[in-house]
Amino acid sequence: MIRTLALVILFGAALALPLAAAEQGALPSFGILVDDARLEALPGTPAARRMARAADDAIKARDAGKLEGVLARASSQDPLLYEWLVVTVLQKLRVAAPMPKLEALLATLAAAPARIYRQHPETAAAYYIPVFEPDRMAAGTLEVWHREKLAREWIARMASDPLALVAAAKTPDASPALVRAIELADAAALARLVAVLPPGGFRAAPGFWSMLARQTHDPAMFALAFRHEGDPEALALLQRMPASLAPRDAMAQLELLLDHGSLASAALSTLVALSPDDAETSRRLLELMADEELGATAASALARKRGAKLVDAAAAQLAQSKGATEQRNLLLYLRLVGTPSALASAKSAAGLPNLDPALREELATW
């Protein structure tokens, strides 16, 4: 069955050989033009529903032969139905466990260009684009399957030789399968891997440290991820921090991320929200009031930690402050707290001899 279907696909590919020489946007000689109305109606037709159900049953049963038969019947009935069914099947195969018996078929699909075209809706009338692109989807599915296979091989190696995964992660061309292996590994395998990691970590494949942090929920792994990952991975990881952090862990993460440039403000808000109301965190936030870039964020974060002692500490710091940035952010904090005592402390600052003149004028409008 697979040989018959492959011959049909390859015959279409042979017809498509002149495609490379064709003008971009032109309808190739083998192309079939369909209108939007027919495309929209196709999934609801009895033939499409019947074929889709049969293909779905074959995928659930992991019956490669049955699935090939369904595709072969569709290819003999209608090219539009066939390409639609192929991409429907590929979407499901991409997230399913690999089926080795279908790899040859997917390789054949990846080599055959699309035949179903539509007119581009936003350009000239003579510009056409493929509707489904089953070739690209088939190639992508094969790539996903290959990564899954490698990931499971790495999981097996974690049991006996976790250092091998560490060594592979250090290489410049480390496979994404390493990160996928960490995602799929059980707690025991992850513990073996963590046990052999060097204390300061190392520059690894993108996502390596982030995935370790996500899967282990270990503050030490979060720290290594923030140290070694790029901004996009670190920003995504911020949203996955544990629901609560011990004061020591929260401060350790905070100090790391304050040096993370563009992420410093987001890190400050997120980690302070997760950390408990401890004196060390509050002290650090008061120190940051003088920071030109982070002071306003620190004021906003500190305002969420209610307490009369914090208001008194901020008022005392304001009385001693000589810098306009620190004064502005301390006043912002007091205003955000908004209690009578906080607002009274802010207004009384107008009489401080060291207060910035612009702030003194602003206080007069409160």
Name the helix (H) or strand (E) containing 263.
none
CB count within 10 Å of CB 292 equals 10
* Distant-in-sequence contacts of 71-78, Cβ < 8 A, 24+ apart: 71/5, 71/105, 72/1, 72/4, 72/5, 72/8, 75/5, 75/8, 75/9, 76/8, 77/47, 78/47
Altogether, the residues listed in the chain come to a count of 366
Tokens of 273: 């929200």
- Triad 245, 204, 202: Cα angle to 5°: 70
Confidence (pLDDT) at 59? 93
Burial 14-26 (b: 16+ CB within 10 A, else e): ebbeeeeeeeeee
DSSP assignment of 140-197 equals HHHHHHHHHHHHHHHHHHHHH-HHHHHHHHTSTT--HHHHHHHHH--HHHHHHHHHTS
Amino acid at 143: E
51 CB contacts (<8 Å, ≥6 apart)? 70, 73, 74, 81, 85
User: Is 48 in contact with 84 (CB distance < 8 Å)?
Assistant: yes
Which tokens go with 210?
């982030």
Q: What is the pTM of this model?
A: 0.61
How far is CA 19 from each of CA 26, 31, 86, 116, rounded to the nearest angstrom?
9, 10, 21, 14
Tell me what pLDDT residue 328 has: 94
pLDDT value for 21:
34
Predicted pLDDT at 51 = 95
The first and second tokens of residue 84, run together, are 């639609």
Written as tens digits, the pLDDT of the chain (366 aa) is 444 454 444 434 444 434 433 456 788 888 899 988 998 999 999 999 999 999 999 999 999 999 999 999 999 999 999 999 999 999 999 988 888 888 988 999 999 889 999 888 776 567 888 999 999 999 999 999 999 999 999 999 988 899 999 999 998 777 889 999 999 999 999 999 999 999 899 999 888 998 998 898 887 888 888 888 876 777 677 666 655 556 566 666 666 666 666 667 777 776 666 665 667 778 888 998 998 888 998 898 888 877 778 899 999 999 999 899 999 999 999 999 989 999 999 989 888 998 999 998 888 887
